[in-house]
Structure 1
Amino acid sequence: MLLTVSGPPGSGKSTNAAALADRFDLDHVSGGDIFRELADERGYSPVEFNELAEENEQIDRDLDRRLRDIAVDGEDILLESRLAGWLAADHADIKIWLDAPREIRAERIADREDKPVEVARQETSRRENSESLRYKEYYNIDIADLTIYDITCNTARWGPESMQQVLATAVEAYDPAADEGKAPVEDVVYDF
């Protein structure tokens, strides 16, 4: 099984991805973890590294190519990243998009990173704008287009345990036979 979990910063994708991977005994591959490792190795904060990626497209392309290769070649994987649904569009069994209002996401990030909410809100806004521009420029992907996802959820509507139960129920009910003859994602021009 190949599942993808995508969403903006603070949406709960890491929490829910880890729980799903554990529940279904899947290897959990996090694009965010890989990105933060790359930033740390080079002495940058994730926000600074994101801005550097605006000037050096090879950063995104290397990360995205690595994740795409994992999606294409892997089995029993949960791939978590902002672009995971797109990277595995033709290979994933279920593609999930998680989101929450920006204010709630900023509060979550502020709590997680021990910073003021306003700082988290500003950094998150800058990061989202930066990534959106790069995805469009590099791959012609409109990250706001959620039509490729099988499941989209507002994680602010349920607590973590309830959200995980909703997602687990959907995965357990998945019928692979329903995908037979399914058309691949079209009108995407990207070169990972």
Structure 2
Amino acid sequence: MLITISGPAGSGKSTVAAGLAESLGYEHVSGGDIFRDLADDRGLTPLELNKRAEEDDQIDRDLDRKQRDIAESRDDIVLESRLAGWMAGEHADFRIWLDAPLSVRAERIADREDKSVELAHNETKERGKSEALRYREYYNIDIEDRSIYDLALNTARLSPDGVRAVVESAVNAYAPDDDEGQTPVEGVTYEF
């Protein structure tokens, strides 16, 4: 089974994806780790790489192509990134969207990256705007469209263990034989 976990920076998707993958015995593939590694390799912060990606669309396209290739060719994985649900498309068995208010996400990021909450807030807000513009331009994806997701959850309302429990419960309750049809991913142009 291919499970995707999507959401903005600081929503808890990496934490939940890693825990879910471990409990299911699946591989965890993180788009965020790939992106941060790419930024580090270039001596940039993720925000700086995002800015470069506004000028060089191949940065996003390479990462997204990799996600799409993984979704097409592998099974028993939890694929996690902002666009995982969109990039996996029809190959995903279960798509999850995690979110939290910007103020909560900024606090989480500030703690994780050892920076001020104000800086994390400003960077996260700017990063989100930048990404939304690129996703629309490259693939015709409206990142605010949640209609393709099987489960959407505000992670600010529960503890990390509570979020994981809700997600695990939903995934464990999913029975492919009883599936009456997922929402199709339509209108996306997969041109890498």
Map 1:134-145; keep pairs closer than 5 Å.
134-145=134-145
Change (3 A) 1:185 1:178: farther
Output the CA distance in 2 between the equivalents of 1:153 and 1:184. Answer: 20
Output the CA distance in 1 between the equivalents of 2:148 and 2:135. Answer: 15
Which amino acid counterpart does residue 42 of structure 1 have in structure 2?
R
Are 2:60 and 1:60 aligned? yes
Q: Deviations over 1:8-39 (max 9, x none)?
A: 00000000000000000110000000011111
Which amino acid counterpart does residue 178 of structure 2 have in structure 1?
A
Change (3 A) 1:183 1:161: closer
Are 2:177 and 1:177 aligned? yes
Change (3 A) 1:182 1:85: closer
What 5-or-longer segments of structure 2 have no aligned partner?
none
Would you say the 8 A contact 2:149–2:183 is kept in 1? no
Local SS of the residue matching 1:5: strand
Taking structure 1 as the reference length, the TM-score comes to 0.97
What is the CA distance between 1:182 and its match in structure 2?
4.9
What is the CA distance between 1:188 and its match in structure 2?
2.4
What is the CA distance between 1:177 and its match in structure 2?
1.7
Which amino acid counterpart does residue 134 of structure 1 have in structure 2?
R
Output the CA distance in 2 between the equivalents of 1:126 and 1:184. Answer: 30
Percent identical residues: 63
Map 1:8-47; keep pairs closer than 5 Å.
8-47=8-47
Change (3 A) 1:111 1:88: same
What is the CA distance between 1:169 and its match in structure 2?
0.6
Output the CA distance in 1 between the equivalents of 2:182 and 2:37. Answer: 36
What is the CA distance between 1:181 and its match in structure 2?
5.4
Query: Partner residue of 2:120?
Result: 120
Output the CA distance in 2 between the equivalents of 1:181 and 1:18. Answer: 27
What is the CA distance between 1:89 and its match in structure 2?
1.6
Change (3 A) 1:121 1:148: same
Local SS of the residue matching 1:88: helix
Local SS of the residue matching 1:152: strand
Computed over aligned residues only, the root mean square deviation of the Cα atoms, in angstroms, reads 1.1
Which amino acid counterpart does residue 18 of structure 1 have in structure 2?
A
Output the CA distance in 2 between the equivalents of 1:181 and 1:123. Answer: 38
Output the CA distance in 2 between the equivalents of 1:39 and 1:186. Answer: 31
Q: Deviations over 1:105-137 (max 9, x none)?
A: 000001111111000000001100000000000
Query: Partner residue of 2:191?
Result: 191
Output the CA distance in 1 between the equivalents of 2:108 and 2:183. Answer: 37
Taking structure 2 as the reference length, the TM-score comes to 0.97
Which amino acid counterpart does residue 36 of structure 2 have in structure 1?
R
| Count of residues paired in the alignment | 192
Would you say the 8 A contact 1:140–1:190 is kept in 2? no
What 5-or-longer segments of structure 1 have no aligned partner?
none
Local SS of the residue matching 1:89: helix
